[in-house]
Amino acid sequence: MSRVRTLTAVEDPLVRLVCFPHSGGSATAFRGWAAALPPGAELVAVQYPGRGDRFAGPLVDDVAETAGRAVAELIRLPSLDQVLFGHGLGALVAYETAMLLRAVGREPLRLCVSACLPPGHLKDLDVHPTLRSDLRAHARYRPGAGTTPLACPLTCYHGAGDPLVDGKRMTGWAGVTSGAFTPGVRPGGHIHVPTDVAGLVSDVLDREAR
């Protein structure tokens, strides 16, 4: 079954926004973003195994494997400039996806990460016992040996008052790219993504133009 869900139908799109859900989340978490897209933007989201319409599938507790499966489908889509956005666990999957896309000559236009410590910073596997598979993937993930920084700009979003993620530690994301690093703080705490969706989508897609 396909791992990438197209959430909008756009004729001749100019840019593709690829979204990666949080721990325990599914592709439908981004369905509400469709109404906020500017003309010419296509929205797709990755559906993890064991989620949504893939609920019957086995869980995968490996970030690199999840990203690899997503990339196998993304590279079969028409070639477009792509912006990647990942929240929580999805931030690590989006980062790994960006590196895999770079390896095939399709590094994204920009990477956006949200509510997630940089790779290798999460140690506590008991934060959410009901999400052990996702938390295990998060805690165990390390970039491959010899990994070099991306070149694309990276924007890092932190929800003000987030009790799970220390905003000061998120500046560590600056080290994964040689491109511009832009930190941002949004209202809404850890689950800030549904807050001012139009503003977030505009920022994710338009920052390069400003």
- Report, in angstroms and rounded to the nearest whole number, the Rg of the chain calculated over CA atoms: 16
Instruction: Tell me what pLDDT residue 207 has.
Output: 63
- Sign for the CA dihedral angle at 159, 163, 167, 169 comes to negative
Domains: count for the chain: 1
Question: Token digits for 16?
Answer: 């593709």
Does residue 21 or residue 3 have the better pLDDT? 21
Average pLDDT for residues 173-178, to the nearest whole number?
A: 96
pLDDT band at 49 (very low <50, low <70, confident <90, very high): confident
User: What phi and psi, each to the nearest 5 degrees, are found at residue 71?
Assistant: -60, -35
Question: Token digits for 34?
Answer: 């469709």
CATH code of the domain covering residue 142: 3.40.50.1820
Per-residue pLDDT tens digits for 123-156: 554 444 635 555 566 567 777 777 899 999 999 9
Per-residue pLDDT tens digits for 72-95: 999 999 999 999 999 999 999 999
- Domain of residue 190: give its range: 4-209
Question: Token digits for 23?
Answer: 């721990």
pLDDT band at 199 (very low <50, low <70, confident <90, very high): very high
pTM (2 decimals)? 0.89
Average of per-residue pLDDT values in the chain? 86
The residue with tokens 């000559």 is: 105
